[in-house]
Amino acid sequence: MKIKDLPKIEKQIVLIHGGSTFDSYKEYLSHLKNIKIDLEKYRKIGWKDSLRKELGNRFDVFMPKMPNPSNARYNEWKIIFKKISKLLEDNVVLIGHSLGAIFLAKYLSENKFPKKILATLLVSGPYDDEGMEESLGGFILPKSLDKLNKQCGKIFLYQSKDDLIVQYTHLEKYKKALAGAIIRKFKKRGHFDQPSFPELVKDIRGLYRKD
């Protein structure tokens, strides 16, 4: 097959994973000492891993490994994401899950993104510390999300009512702050630790559907 015959990649997707935050290194060490290891968990393949296959070869899916996700620091993630953003093309789709969702919400509410964003998809994103077992540290959102609203294209919010990590009330807060956001509510998806995410894949494909 000649190079010119290869399918052209036209659509960029950037997915920011979740993580944990702690107010001190002592708290982080305590967490490591008390965490329960389940080998079965290391075998599981989640929807992030299957996203490339689900979307197909006309999508270029980037899943950057953000610095130290087990003890994440916003300023460290910000440095890496700023470098990534300069290399992207217009009409990129941004996805954030859990801590990755609030990271995108904060970064894009405080900084001008250098490229045009087609859509921003926030999955199980905390809005503040309410009901959270962990502190959000430097990931706390600013008072206004106006800049996020203005530069992030279509905004999708995904939340399940049985999420034990990020309570359903956080979705309601995002809805108030992000008027016009498209809401996807679920009943039994927990924190979206699942092998596939067909609803999200459908939403991404729908962004490029020609009427």
Show the domains of the chain with their CATH numbers: 8-206 (3.40.50.1820)
Within 13 Å, how many C-alpha atoms sit on residue 178's CB side?
30
Q: Which residue has the higher pLDDT, 197 or 6?
A: 197
Residue 208 exposure: Cα atoms within 13 Å on the Cβ side: 14
Give the confidence band of 138 by pLDDT, cuts at 50, 70, 90.
very high
- Split at pLDDT 50, 70, 90, the class of 131 is confident
Q: What is the mean pLDDT of the chain?
A: 92
For the chain, percent of residues with pLDDT exceeding 90: 81
Q: In this structure, are residues 163 and 190 in contact, taking their beta carbons and an 8 Å threshold? A: yes
The neighbouring-strand residues paired with 154 are 119
Nearest CA to 18 among 189, 193, 138?
Answer: 193
The strand pairing partners of 5, in sequence order, are: none
